[in-house]
Structure 1
Amino acid sequence: MALAGCAGGKKKPRLAYEERPVELLYNTGANRMDRGQWAQAVNYFQEVERQHPYSEWSRRSILMQAFAHYQANDYPEAIADAERFIQLYPGNAAAAYAHYIKAICYFEQIVDVGRDQAATGQALAALREIVQRYPNTEYASDARLKIDMVNDQLAGKEMTIGRWYLRNGDTLAAIGRFRTVVDRYQTTSHTPEALYRLSESYLTLGLTEEATRNGAVLGHNYPGDVWYSDAYKLLTSRGLRPAVEPAGSRRGFLRVPFRKDKSQTVRPPATAPAAAASDASAQAPAT
């Protein structure tokens, strides 16, 4: 009799139990992955675990399930698979990949700056863990690029809140948000605007020395940025003058949009048992 699992209120059909060679189960699952049949691939890899729980094939199948769930946009299941592998095999060389797929799942759940950024914080923590644990791997190289994007997202959230405070007359609260961007996210694309907003906010409070100082920092680091041109005009209109003349009107940085292109994600490491590679009818996916 076919077995059925239940997840999220929906029945998920599973393979009918029939004892089969582990090589056949594993390679059929790999073949389904190559075809993009993610749910079927998961079924076969789960069957490998069920029928051959203490084998190298079983260990490898957990990672393959994580990747298949990720490709199907089933992020909670992919994260659960990755965490299960980390708990069971923390010292295994493939644990680096489990950490990576977990971080990517959080990364792809990041939403626009106008909404809650819980996934953004989780993504940043997971990406940093990869860089710290596995600094010389391809996973760390990809994580470093994504950390920059995540920081830009978090800075954008601070700017959104800061602007709202400024529009509503809560200048001190706005200054706190803009200062966070300058102090914590100073390499992001939002820093020039944050410095401009600080000058603007301090002028509102009558703190001309602080306003001029932030304008000077903006001019020194971003002399050709349009935000500095605006700051220069604002300060000189009040009889103040930062130290640097504006050098033009261009942006200091260009924001990098989030791209969720799964084809660019690093695939599971090629550590399947040798017998899998010898089956010409169903090869495991290449790295």
Structure 2
Amino acid sequence: MLNLLKYPLAALALALLTACSGNEELPDIAADAGEQQMYQEAQRHLNNRNFDLAVRALQMLESRYPFGKHAEQAQLELIYAHYGAYEHEAAVEAADRFIRLHPQHPNVDYAYYMKGLAAYTGNEDVFARFLPTDITKRDTSNAKEAFAEFAQLVSRFPDSPYAADAKSRMVYLRNLLARHEINVANYYFRRGAYLAATNRGRYVVENFQRTPAVADGLAVMAQGYLILGMNDLANDAIDTLAMNYPDHPALNEQGEFDTVYTADGLQRSWVNKATFGLFDPPQPPQFDTRPMKF
């Protein structure tokens, strides 16, 4: 058995957990409680934002009265309760179950919306909620899933009261996914995988039109094609960049591409050359214009 006197941090953690659990009210639903009473108890926990207790109360209600008058509503509210308890996978499963059981329900659009919302926040953890992180550099599988779910909602239920919010989130997710591609391209530049970097930039330009990342996608293409010696393609990308985003930092005052790399290799400053590479080393390309507004 763990000696808590030897491990004060463990003792403190156990004390906090004990205190939290001691303050948590367990569902005091009698074995012979009626459906209405059980539903009101679940509503009380939802209103008090005691989502863990709400989940248990709603599950108990459904198990005792699977065909009662509150059964379908309880299944809908169970989705929200799971979501509120940060049980995102469980929320998605509950939404899938409701859609499967009640495809013609008048509120089935809510299930689709909550399914997207749960996927939307599915990769959040306790640290992400308190520490600043660049989510465009994290895994985007949840973002792609959420975009698909919101797109399905908007397509199937264009007049849904949740459609407008879903569209707004889709715009945000699309911008996020485009920026992620630019971050990957920057990584490939650092690794010397120039063709892979160029392809990422082209993918953004071709598939994420009207996103802020398109400007950096063109810059990635220009830089990549210059490195690869594909000057005609590089000039096309530079002309498009200069025409649409003349203030992009990759362009100088004359509208020329201020390249770091050419087909001959790194562009070295005179300081770097004079010191035989000891000072002012050239840095690999890095395109990120998020602080700017074109």
Specify the TM-score bucket, using the shorter chain as the normaliser.
Answer: 0.7 to 0.9
CA distance in 1, matches of 2:86, 2:76: 15
Identify if the C-alpha distance between structure 1 residues 23 and 180 changes in structure 2 by more than 3 Å, giving closer, same or farther. Answer: same
- The worse-fitting range, judged by mean Cα deviation, of 163-172 and 54-63 is 163-172
Match of 2:31 among 5, 13, 18: 18
Q: Which amino acid aligns with 1:167?
A: R
Matched, 1:202 2:203: no
| Contact map agreement 1:202 1:211 (CA 8 A) in 2 | yes
| Contact map agreement 1:63 1:82 (CA 8 A) in 2 | yes
Q: Which amino acid aligns with 1:90?
A: P
Deviation at 1:228, TM superposition (A): 4.5
Match of 1:152 among 162, 170, 175: 175
Matched, 1:183 2:206: yes
Identify if the C-alpha distance between structure 1 residues 230 and 51 changes in structure 2 by more than 3 Å, giving closer, same or farther. Answer: farther
Provide Cα deviations, 1:191-238, integer angstroms capped at 9, x if missing partner: 111111211111222222222211221222223444445893426999
Q: Which amino acid aligns with 2:80?
A: F
| Contact map agreement 1:30 1:41 (CA 8 A) in 2 | yes
CA distance in 2, matches of 1:81, 1:160: 34
- The DSSP-based 3-state class of the residue aligned with 1:113 is helix
| Contact map agreement 1:85 1:98 (CA 8 A) in 2 | yes
CA distance in 2, matches of 1:116, 1:223: 32
Unaligned runs of 5+ in 2: 1-25, 125-134, 263-290
- What are the within-5 Å matches in structure 2 for residues 113-152 of structure 1? 113-152=136-175
Identify if the C-alpha distance between structure 1 residues 96 and 76 changes in structure 2 by more than 3 Å, giving closer, same or farther. Answer: same
The aligned counterpart of 1:4 is none
Between the two proteins, the alignment pairs up a number of residues equal to 230
The aligned counterpart of 1:78 is 91
| Contact map agreement 1:15 1:43 (CA 8 A) in 2 | no
| Contact map agreement 1:222 1:252 (CA 8 A) in 2 | no
Q: Which amino acid aligns with 2:181?
A: E
CA distance in 2, matches of 1:162, 1:151: 17
Q: Which one has a bigger Cα radius of gyration?
A: 2
CA distance in 2, matches of 1:230, 1:14: 69
The aligned counterpart of 1:90 is 103
Matched, 1:66 2:79: yes
CA distance in 1, matches of 2:28, 2:182: 51
Match of 2:292 among 251, 256, 279: 251
CA distance in 2, matches of 1:53, 1:162: 52
| Contact map agreement 1:19 1:51 (CA 8 A) in 2 | no
CA distance in 2, matches of 1:121, 1:84: 21
The aligned counterpart of 1:33 is 46
Matched, 1:192 2:215: yes
The aligned counterpart of 2:288 is none
Provide Cα deviations, 1:69-94, integer angstroms capped at 9, x if missing partner: 11111111111111111111011111
| Contact map agreement 2:250 2:257 (CA 8 A) in 1 | no
CA distance in 2, matches of 1:192, 1:140: 29
Q: Which amino acid aligns with 1:251?
A: M
Identity %: 26
Identify if the C-alpha distance between structure 1 residues 194 and 231 changes in structure 2 by more than 3 Å, giving closer, same or farther. Answer: farther
What value does the CA root-mean-square deviation take over the aligned residues?
A: 2.5
CA distance in 1, matches of 2:187, 2:167: 31
CA distance in 2, matches of 1:217, 1:233: 12
CA distance in 2, matches of 1:96, 1:231: 53
Identify if the C-alpha distance between structure 1 residues 227 and 252 changes in structure 2 by more than 3 Å, giving closer, same or farther. Answer: farther
Deviation at 1:57, TM superposition (A): 0.4
Provide Cα deviations, 1:110-135, integer angstroms capped at 9, x if missing partner: 46233332212211111111111111
The aligned counterpart of 1:211 is 234
| Contact map agreement 1:215 1:231 (CA 8 A) in 2 | no
- Between the two structures, name the one with larger relative contact order (CA 8 Å, sep ≥ 6): 1
TM-score relative to the length of structure 1: 0.73
The aligned counterpart of 2:274 is none
The aligned counterpart of 1:167 is 190
Q: Which amino acid aligns with 1:117?
A: T
| Contact map agreement 1:99 1:126 (CA 8 A) in 2 | yes
Matched, 1:107 2:148: no
- The worse-fitting range, judged by mean Cα deviation, of 216-225 and 170-179 is 216-225
Q: Which amino acid aligns with 2:59?
A: Q
